[in-house]
Structure 1
């Protein structure tokens, strides 16, 4: 009676060795043939037989079992109509909401403020202005606004003026929603430097970048309807965050 479990364990062990050997072969082949792929973070099989995912940071590639061919593109499961590449990148780029340094952001509270959203924005970003104006239509939310001056030296100056303002929320909305300039101000701006460091660590390369309570990251100026949808998803996945 003990024979079957023993055989199953042996088969699982052999499968593990085979997978490890396969990964090693792919790593070796790609590193030798494509120098830019000499530092692969992960190799793993995909749901498509014979196709392997190769991950370098958050960049995904696909290859055959011998590393003879490389594909850069999206893998789509037509049965369930899901973009597997998109899903995987979403998981890789997710940021734990609890890991956000909220002390380096200022808060905008609307309604009961029950739902949570963090946004990284540059004051010179046109897409951010469009996003902010549409965001006025979203109620019952607390927005943690991280100033993220990455576009120009003037972005750093405007961010300083907003951060050092007596009323950060009014100063921000004056600039982004009402097109009113923000008066010059000065104070300790180390928080802005920490925001930039946090963004580099988590590869936040554009603004606006939204992070929801479930860790989902959404780049770009999405509309109010999409924000509402994402807030609802985050609430259902992480009730404790409400």
Structure 2
């Protein structure tokens, strides 16, 4: 074998790499290109994705993917077929971690079961069927403190805001919440009650990019959108409340 061949190959590879733009340069150019082509959408950041040649484009509401030139967009999610992990959702959760200790717990309905040593928070809509499904799972937990932030999605569930107000204004909010979510027993109407946290919580939900209910937050800052099975919820609580 010609000894000069490996050397020549190495030189050619170095030359080829030198003419390719760095990933950071591509991301910067791509962000500019997409911003120009979609002026009504805020492109917050662009970077390489888990798939070679595909770039992750982060907007205020979702992650999409683009080729290096911004000529084609992929509107969908990437899944690891071996683990069945939704990598797009995992990445979104990673980018949107919260300061759990900084949440306004005084604006939450506090549910304590057992000693209440393990903590997490949920943004919920009283008319959301997935929230009601989750509440049935929560009813089986022990040694937890759950902070319920009322987050009625009035556009999807007309009347949810009134129900949330009545629950908040009840003499026993925790009992009123549980009676409604588990037994469909409505609290007394409280149309004159104006002292509710619904407006600031709506603003907080927008800031935290909550676009569906339920959305759960845990002490490590991670989030889980949607209702999950009891065993998975128990595993998540245990993993994020290590003492």
TM-score by length of 1: 0.80
Cα distance between partner residues in 2 of 1:139 and 1:129:
18
Cα pair 2:169 2:196 within 8 Å, conserved: no
Q: Which of 228, 236, 242 matches 2:234?
A: 228
Cα distance between partner residues in 2 of 1:82 and 1:173:
32
Deviates more, 1:158-167 or 1:44-53: 44-53
Q: Which of 30, 33, 37 matches 2:34?
A: 30
Cα distance between partner residues in 1 of 2:101 and 2:80:
32
Q: Does 1:39 align with 2:42?
A: yes
Higher helix share: 1
Alignment partner, residue 95 of structure 1: 98
Alignment CA distance shift 1:38-1:20 (3 Å): farther
Q: Does 1:171 align with 2:176?
A: yes
Deviations 1:157-187 (CA, angstroms, capped at 9, x unpaired): 2222211111111111111112222112353
Cα distance between partner residues in 2 of 1:116 and 1:207:
19
Cα RMSD (Å) of the superposition?
2.6
1:140-151 equivalence runs, <5 A: 140-151=143-154
Alignment partner, residue 139 of structure 1: 142
Deviation for aligned residue 1:37 = 7.3
Count of aligned pairs between the two proteins: 222
Deviation for aligned residue 1:39 = 3.4
Cα distance between partner residues in 2 of 1:37 and 1:200:
18
TM-score by length of 2: 0.79
Cα pair 1:25 1:67 within 8 Å, conserved: no
Indicate the SS of the match to 1:177: helix
Q: 5+ residue gaps in structure 1?
A: 1-13
Deviations 1:25-72 (CA, angstroms, capped at 9, x unpaired): 22343345x325763211112344333222222422222332233222
Deviates more, 1:175-184 or 1:23-32: 23-32
